[in-house]
């Protein structure tokens, strides 16, 4: 008898990312992908393909100088695939070919974007693709005002690459080995990069909710903010709070640091602090050498990296909404309240349970990666933690540790980036094949002491 292997939607999503990484690594391992015509070691090709598909940004070889135009084009395609998701790209192709999107495809899209309903899936994908390419296109045009006068025709390619990378929160660039440090005081590059990072990381469903409210602003009579959904309110509020508080922290801790901001004027210091606060939200670009920052700034960066961006976007981390739900639930428990309420709305118990699971699993992955990486390298503990948190949250910032990783270190970070991109909960669901019966006999409950 012929047995057909049936994959769940979660398993299909995990497999699609794995196959994209594998295909990308094979292309990058070709001599034509290398700048000098000599094929790079396969482990570096695999590392680069993983960091591109997982939109992380950690690199073992410089993106600007190690890869040819063909190699950079492969990386750009992988970043776009990773940012939107393999399933989204394939669905977009089917829509372009006027092919019918079946129920199985709709379930895949629902799981890929963690949506609560399959209603309007095709329209949602169309809007995601159109919105993505429109924002990336505008970002590229704005970048050209800086890069074309400086690099000529090559500036067009640099602008497109950086726009896609920034929107997808990938943090890879083809300017220099020190990321955007050469443009730390350029307001256009700083502003455009920050806006692209925020637009990509805020989440698509927030986009459409804000657009809906804006269109109905006359009918709402000044009640626009109150008309947003609870998800949008949380995502926007937490994002604004983290950017402002993070910028204030970096400004305070780096204000007189001779290795970073001491020689800057006050407006330049504010700009650098805001950029650092935004880029730690899983973007990975750097205008300040991360290894030169104070330990206090590094710890703040770890906190911001772990949180990341918002759901249903291109950012990683445990997500802003997840952290907000946990904090509200914690304060509700402290006050002895059974329900967690935010913006005058009760948060569902299922959302709280999922938030706890996401944070716990992410922390477990990060902790395991930190221990394993510590076992195979003698680097400073803070540098190692920075590396593993960056990989888990798919950020891409490093305290200059990535280029010096040995083979085992590279493999550990590769696996960590993959786990961070597909999501810890997806991993558990994908490998949990046993279905729990609704008639299962449950064990008796008993009180315990907690805290």
Sequential pLDDT tens for the chain (451 residues):
455 556 666 777 788 889 999 999 999 999 999 999 999 999 999 999 999 999 998 999 999 999 999 999 999 999 999 888 766 776 776 666 666 666 666 666 666 566 666 666 777 788 888 889 999 999 999 999 999 999 999 999 999 999 999 999 998 999 988 889 999 999 999 999 999 999 998 988 888 888 888 887 777 666 777 788 888 999 999 999 999 999 999 999 999 999 999 999 999 999 999 999 999 988 889 999 999 999 999 999 999 999 998 887 888 889 999 999 999 999 888 888 888 888 888 888 888 888 888 899 899 999 999 999 999 998 999 999 999 999 999 998 999 999 999 999 999 999 999 998 887 656 555 554 444 545 556 677 776 766 6
Q: How many CA atoms lie within 13 A of 214 on its CB side?
A: 6
**CA 292 from centroid of its chain's CA atoms:** 24
Q: Are 115 and 312 in contact (CB under 8 A)?
A: yes
Rounded Cα distance between 426 and 415, Å, is 15
Per the domain annotation, does 235 fall within a domain?
Answer: yes
In sequence order, what are the residues at sequence separation of 6 or more whose Cβ sits closer than 8 angstroms to the Cβ of residue 198? 239, 243, 278, 281
Place of tokens 């990341």: 308
Residue 281: predicted pLDDT: 83
Per the domain annotation, does 443 fall within a domain?
Answer: no
Per the domain annotation, does 1 fall within a domain?
Answer: no
Residue 441: predicted pLDDT: 65
Three-state secondary-structure class, residue 38: coil
Per the domain annotation, does 350 fall within a domain?
Answer: yes
Q: At 346, which helix (H) or strand (E)?
A: strand 345-346
Residue 1: predicted pLDDT: 45
Per the domain annotation, does 448 fall within a domain?
Answer: no
Per the domain annotation, does 438 fall within a domain?
Answer: no
Per the domain annotation, does 210 fall within a domain?
Answer: yes
Q: Are 14 and 381 in contact (CB under 8 A)?
A: no
Q: Are 189 and 158 in contact (CB under 8 A)?
A: no
What's the total number of domains in the chain?
1
Rounded Cα distance between 301 and 279, Å, is 9
Q: Is 262 exposed, middle or buried (0-12, 13-18, 19+ CB in 10 A)?
A: exposed
Per the domain annotation, does 436 fall within a domain?
Answer: no
Instruction: Show the domain range for 69.
Output: 9-430
């Amino acid at each position: 008898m012929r047995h057909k292997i049936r994959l769940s939607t979660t398993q299909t999503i995990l497999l699609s990312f794995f196959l994209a990484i594998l295909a990308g690594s094979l292309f990058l391992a070709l001599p034509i992908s290398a700048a000098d015509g000599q094929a790079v070691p396969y482990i570096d090709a695999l590392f680069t393909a993983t960091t591109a598909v997982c939109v992380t940004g950690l690199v073992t070889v410089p993106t600007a100088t190690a890869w040819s135009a063909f190699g950079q084009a492969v990386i750009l395609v992988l970043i776009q695939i990773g940012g939107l998701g393999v399933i989204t790209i394939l669905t977009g192709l089917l829509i372009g070919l006027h092919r019918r999107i079946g129920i199985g495809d709709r379930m895949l899209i629902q799981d890929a974007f963690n949506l609560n309903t399959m209603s309007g899936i095709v329209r949602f994908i169309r809007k995601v693709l159109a919105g993505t390419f429109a924002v990336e296109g505008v970002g590229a045009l704005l970048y050209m005002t800086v890069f074309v006068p400086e690099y000529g025709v090559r500036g067009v390619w640099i602008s497109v690459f950086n726009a896609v990378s920034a929107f997808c929160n990938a943090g890879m660039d083809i300017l220099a080995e020190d990321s955007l440090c050469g443009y730390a005081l350029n307001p256009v590059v700083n502003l455009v990069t920050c806006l692209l990072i925020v637009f990509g990381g805020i989440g698509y469903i927030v986009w459409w909710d804000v657009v809906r409210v804006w269109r109905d602003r006359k009918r709402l009579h000044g009640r626009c903010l109150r008309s947003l959904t609870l998800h949008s309110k949380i995502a926007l509020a937490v994002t604004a709070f983290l950017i402002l508080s993070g910028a204030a922290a970096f400004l305070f801790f780096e204000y007189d640091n001779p290795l970073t901001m001491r020689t800057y004027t006050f407006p330049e210091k504010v700009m650098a602090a805001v950029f650092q606060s935004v880029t730690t939200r899983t973007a990975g670009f750097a205008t300040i050498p991360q290894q030169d920052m104070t330990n206090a700034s590094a710890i703040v960066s770890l906190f911001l990296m772990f949180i990341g961006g918002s759901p249903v976007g291109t950012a990683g981390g445990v997500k802003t909404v997840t952290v907000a739900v946990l904090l509200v639930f914690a304060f509700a428990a402290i006050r002895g309240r059974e329900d967690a309420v935010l913006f005058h709305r009760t948060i569902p118990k299922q959302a709280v349970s999922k938030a706890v699971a996401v944070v716990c699993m992410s922390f477990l992955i990060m902790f395991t990666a930190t221990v394993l990486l510590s076992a195979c390298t003698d680097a400073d503990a803070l540098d190692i933690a920075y590396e593993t948190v960056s990989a888990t949250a798919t950020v891409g910032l490093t305290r200059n540790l990535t280029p010096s990783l040995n083979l085992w270190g590279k493999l550990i970070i590769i696996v960590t980036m993959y786990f961070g991109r597909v999501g810890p909960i997806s991993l558990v669901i994908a490998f949990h094949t046993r279905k729990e019966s609704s008639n299962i006999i449950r064990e008796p409950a008993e009180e315990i002491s907690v805290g």
